Every structure is written in structure tokens, then in C-alpha cells.
Chain A
Amino acid sequence: MQITVDRDAGRIAVAGEFTFNDHSQFKQMIIELFEAKGSTITIDLSKLEFIDSAGLGMLLLARDEARKNDRQLILKRPGGQVKRMFCVTKFNTLFTVEE
């Protein structure tokens, strides 16, 4: 997975495939974002092609971490397989998902 972080805007853009192998990189990215200021963290998923169950689990952990830090985690523009997975798991009831 390729990650682009904009700390000032509290925004991350991810591309490629989000799987278990990306857990260290993802955690590091989240820690960095929580150190930055701002009430929301946005993850742009428009270029993410695939997500597995471990990836979904990491997003849920990130959401819990955001709540602990009084932040809101927003998932933006999921498409393809990612969107179908969100639909099946009803992720829109767990996150704020923006099209």
C-alpha cells in the first residue's frame, strides 16, 4: 500500500492494496496524524483497489483510537471492491463514509 500523508490537513491518501502486511506502516501513520492538531482525520480511499479483513480490522482500531483522542475518522470515496466490502459490512453505520 502506498501512503501519502498531509499532516497539516489531517488527511491521508492510500493506494493499492491494504492488507495485514501494512500494519506497521499504518500504525505509524495513525500515530503521526494523532500528534498533529485538528478534530478530524480523513482517509482518502479513492485509489485503494483492495482491502482484506485485516485492513477492515485496522480501520476499526483506528476509529477506536480516534474516539479516545476526541477525533472523528472520515473515510472518503471508497470504490470497487472496497465499496462492496463496506456495503456488506455496513461500514457506513460504524464510520462516516463520504462519497
Chain B
Amino acid sequence: MLPWKRRRVAPPIAHDPEAPQPLQPDRSLDVELLQKWMSLARMQQRVIRTLVSEIQQTSAVVETEAEALSGRFQRLAVCAEQQTARVESLSKLAIGIQIDEEVVPIDRIAGLLEDTLSDVVEKILHLSKDSMSMVYALNELNANVGRVHNCMAELNGINRTTNMLALNARIEAERSGTAGAAFRVVANEVRDLSRATHDLSISMNGELKAVTEGIASGHTTLQRVATIDMSQNLMAKDRLEVLMSALIRRTEMLTSVVADAVKEAEVIAADVEGMVTGIQFQDRARQRLEHVVDTLHVVDQALDELKSATEGRLPEASGESSFDVEWVTRLLDRFTLGELRSRFVAQILEGKQAADLDDEAAIRVEPSASGSVELF
């Protein structure tokens, strides 16, 4: 029992002979006024109990939704952390290509490619120059072989003449008889020499023919090599340089975008972390609401005790005061939430107990996936 209640409601006050005697107004009016106060007290109790019920339900809803939100934020924090790590990993990928344990930057790859292609181009130029040099050399050699052919033809002519001379000398030697014996020997030697020269000439012609054919074959092969147009291969370097320039530009842009993404991901992670901490407000709110509910319980209890003390001394009143029903109705008309209004009507005007509505309320406090709230 509350102290103030003991002081004011204690019966001895009415029997104290030394206490100042109140005026003796119309007793029936006093009774009517007290009955109105009693009616108001009953209505206030209903309002208090309804408010207590509503606060408890709201607290439960806030608790449940806050826990659900906290869980989601924690998952979001983990995701944000992973996302930051991924973006940082992406930034490494954007800078270059990993070869073994080393990340080689794109511009260095472009430099290596440029050096390699320059080397290839240089070799193609050398090859082209040397091929053309060989072509010119073979042309010269071919001309030389032609001149050797001419020499061989002249040699054959000389040999034919020598052979004719040997034959004529032999005829003349035979005509001279014995006196021409020595001349005959010389004529035979000249004829043998001519035959040997002829045989050598045939052999040389054969060798020369082989050389000529070899030169012709080499010339054909070299021509085939020299006529391979390497200009497209040279231009490939040009195209690759354009491609590498584009790749470097793209990498620079990607690096810039990824750097921004890393910063943003870090900001998001920090914000989510802050939200996870911030969502813990429900603990404090619950404690405050518990104090409010406790206070309302005490007030309700005080009203109960005052009612009990008063009801025994008053004649029984007939139902609710129309005045109380009116102000409660005006109050309820200000409610915009239909569900809330229904509960208040049921508990305050119809006198139903909050426990009767608990099952329904319990269903309502389940966290909804969509988090939808009735507004009107």
C-alpha cells in the first residue's frame, strides 16, 4: 500500500472529534459527485491498463523488429567486409597480371611486347635486306656462268680447229712417207691432245650445267623467300601497339574506378558497423518502457485501493457515467490506427481484459519479412 494512500484514505479522519467540521452540503450531491469520481477512476484504470498492454505490445514489437534488424545489419556488415576485400583484390587484378608470384603491371607488359615486336621488325628488315642482297649476288653469278658458257663454246671451237689441224698433219705425214715419220708422231700427239681437251670440255660442260641448274634452283627458292610480303607482319606491330595503348588506357580507367569502389566499400562497411551499434537502442527503450509500465501499475494499484475504500461507503452506481464515455469516445476518435482503436474500444468501453486479446496481439508482434506497418 502506498504511503500517501494510507494518510488520506484512513478511516480515523472521519471520527476525529477535533478535526474541523466540513460544511454540511446536500449529502445526495456529495454522493453523486463521489460516484462520478469513482466512475472516472474506473475509466482511468481501464485506460491505464490498456496503455500498459499497448506499451508492452509495442515494446515487444520494437524488441523483435530491432533484433531482426540487428541480425540483418550484422549479415550486411559481414557482406560489406567481404565486398571490401573483393574490391581490394580486384584492384590488384586491375593493376596487372599475376605471373608466378609476381604481379606484372600492364604498362610493363606493353613495354616487353614493344621490345619483342621491335626485335621481330628489325629481324624482318635484316632478312629482307639479306634476301635482296642474295638475289642480286645470284643474278651476278648467273651472269658469270653465262660468260663461262660462252668461253666453253669458244674452247670447243678451238678444239675443233686443233683436231682438224691434227688430222691434216697426219694426212701430210702419210704423203711424205718415211720422211714424215717424225711429223706423224707430232700429229698423233696433237690429235690425242685434242681428244683429251674435247673430253675435258664435255666434262666441264656437265659440271657447268650442274652449277647452272643449282644457281637456277637457288634463285627460284630465294625469289620465293624474297617475294613473301612481310609488310602485314610489320603492320601487326602497329595494330598491337594500338591495342596495347587501348589496354593501358582501359587499365588506368579500371584502376581509378576500382580505387573509388574501394573507398566507397570502406565507407559502406563503416556505416553498416555504425548501424549495427546504433540498432542496440531497443535495450534502453525497453528499460524506459518498463519503468513507465511499472509506474502505471503503481497508479492502477493506488486507484484500486482508493476504489475499494470508497465503494463500501457509497450506494451502488448505475453503470458508466455518460461523461466518461464521451471523453473516451472523443479520445478514441483521434486515433488513426484502426487496430489500436479496436483494442482500446474493446478494453476501455467494452471492458474486455487485455489477456483476452493477447493471442491476437502475439500474432501481430511476430516480425514480418516485409516490416510493413499499418498507418491508417
Contacts and interface: CB of A to CB of B under 8 A. Distances in A.
A and B part of one assembly: yes
B40 interface: no
A23 B135 contact: yes
Contacts of A89: 121, 125, 234
A84 B235 contact: yes
B228 to A, nearest CB: 8
Interface stretch (B21-29, B74-82, B126-134, B312-320): B126-134
B235 A54 contact: no
B239 to A, nearest CB: 10
Given A88-B121, A88-B238, A60 B129 contact: yes
Interface residues of A, number: 22
Contacts of A53: 124-125, 127-128, 228-231, 233-234
Contacts of A21: 227
B231 A51 contact: yes
A56 interface: yes
Contacts of A23: 132, 135-136
Contacts of A24: 139
A81 B238 CA distance: 12
Contacts of B234: 53, 85, 88-89
A36 interface: no
Contact of B128 (A57, A81, A84, A90): A57
A62 to B, nearest CB: 10
A34 interface: no
Contact of B237 (A52, A61, A88): A88
Contacts of B125: 53, 56-57, 60, 89
Interface in B224-267: 226-231, 233-235, 237-238
A54 B237 contact: no
Interface residues of B, number: 26
Contacts of A52: 229-231
Given A23-B132, A61-B132, A54 B227 contact: yes
Contacts of B118: 90
A20 B135 CA distance: 10
A87 interface: yes
B237 to A, nearest CB: 5
A89 to B, nearest CB: 5
B116 interface: no
A29 interface: no
A67 interface: no
A12 interface: no
B121 A57 contact: no
Contacts of A58: 132
Given A53-B229, A53-B231, A85-B234, 16 more contacts: A19-B227, A20-B227, A23-B132, A53-B127, A54-B131, A54-B132, A56-B125, A56-B128, A57-B131, A57-B226, A61-B132, A61-B136, A81-B231, A87-B238, A88-B121, A88-B235
Interface of A: 19-21, 23-24, 27, 51-54, 56-58, 60-61, 81, 84-85, 87-90
6 contacts: A53-B234, A54-B132, A57-B226, A87-B238, A88-B121, A90-B121
